[in-house]
Structure 1
Amino acid sequence: MNRAYLLIGGNLGDRTAYLSRAVSQIQEKCGVVVQQSSIYETAAWGVEDQPSFYNQALLLHTSFAAPVLMQQLLDIETSLGRERTIKMGPRTIDIDVLLYNEEVIQSELITVPHPHLPQRRFALLPLAEIAPQYVHPQLHETITTLLKNCPDTLDVHKISGAKPPLP
């Protein structure tokens, strides 16, 4: 079984409902969601003139290879109304594969570890909640250490507690 750490997020519509629907579809189509972080809110990163985001980290156990998983996640985004019109623009849902086992993968469809993970507090904070001692396979530092050294200064705050795994 493969372990994939995902970050889900969105800033359009009922953000909590979109996160919940994404978790349900990931569980239904991709494997078993073993852990869910709390939900965190943060100002938009990159294109700043848009609503704030809700983000949540997930640990997924999946039988899918990384590229197959990524395609399934893209299909889930589309089914939840994701439209790719503006790079880093507003969206109903975004699903990123942050880490996949301890692998380093670079293809047209997926790059793992996520190349911007060490610079994004909104990804590191929820990930540190569920995988604080996971060692980044390229940087050889724990997620806790990456968070401590993260240059991103955007305010990220918890809005709800951690969720139990789905049945």
Structure 2
Amino acid sequence: MVAPRQPVTAYVALGANLGDAAQTLRDALTALNQLPGTRLVKASSLYRTAPVDSSGPDYVNAVAEVVTQFTAPGLLLALQQIEQAAGRERPYLNAPRTLDLDLLLFGAARIDSPHLTVPHPRMWERAFVLVPLAEVEPGVVPSVALAGVQDQLIQRHLLGE
């Protein structure tokens, strides 16, 4: 029997632009909270953004803070399983998607492997990541990073849209 790992705080970006994207994100948050050895601590508001390096309808985005006993590669695998359960397909790079889950931060870990890079390599360039991340944990996002993405349109997603 393997002893449980020390819990780690991780941040996960959620995005979707196909189907009922807002509901898909809510369902994904529930699925995150149901992962073994994992607890959803906080989730940001939902935000609407235009596709970046992609096409299709506007995205609905959020960020979740979780505490987990998974390793970073184990959490990535669990995130990919949640995406698949939501019908995620990868027909081409940056295709519209039913659900996209990205591991942004995993404690203080710095990981650079063929399958996983943490911190997420493009998170500092994207308002749809930084704005909800700053809502969940303001101390994680420097004000200079938010200033760097202030020209990217992002708006809080209103329920019922």
Asked whether the 8 Å contact 1:7–1:58 carries over to 2, the reply is yes
Q: 2:133 aligns with which of 123, 127, 131?
A: 127
Query: Are the structure 2 counterparts of residues 108 and 18 from structure 1 closer, same or farther at C-alpha, using a change threshold of 3 Å?
Result: same
Q: Is 1:70–1:109's contact at 8 Å kept on the other side of the alignment?
A: no
Residue in 1 that maps onto 2:144 = 145
- Where does residue 20 of structure 2 map in the other structure? 14
Normalising by structure 2, what TM-score? 0.89
Structure 2 match to 1:75: 81
Aligned to 2:51: 44
Q: In the alignment, what sits opposite 1:165?
A: none
- The match for 2:96 among 83, 90, 96 is 90
| 2:99 matches 1:99 | no
Paired letter, 1:37: S
Aligned length: 152
Query: Structure 1: which 4+ aligned runs deviate by more than 4 Å?
Result: none
Q: Structure 1: which 5+ runs fail to align?
A: 135-141, 162-167
Residue from 105, 108, 114 that aligns with 1:108: 114
What is the SS of the residue equivalent to 1:114?
coil
Q: Identical aligned pairs, as a percentage?
A: 34
CA–CA distance in 2 between the matches of 1:57 and 1:41?
Answer: 13
Give the partner amino acid of 2:154. V
TM-score by structure 1 length? 0.86
Encode CA deviations 1:60-87: one digit per residue, 9 max, x unaligned: 0000010000001001100110000121
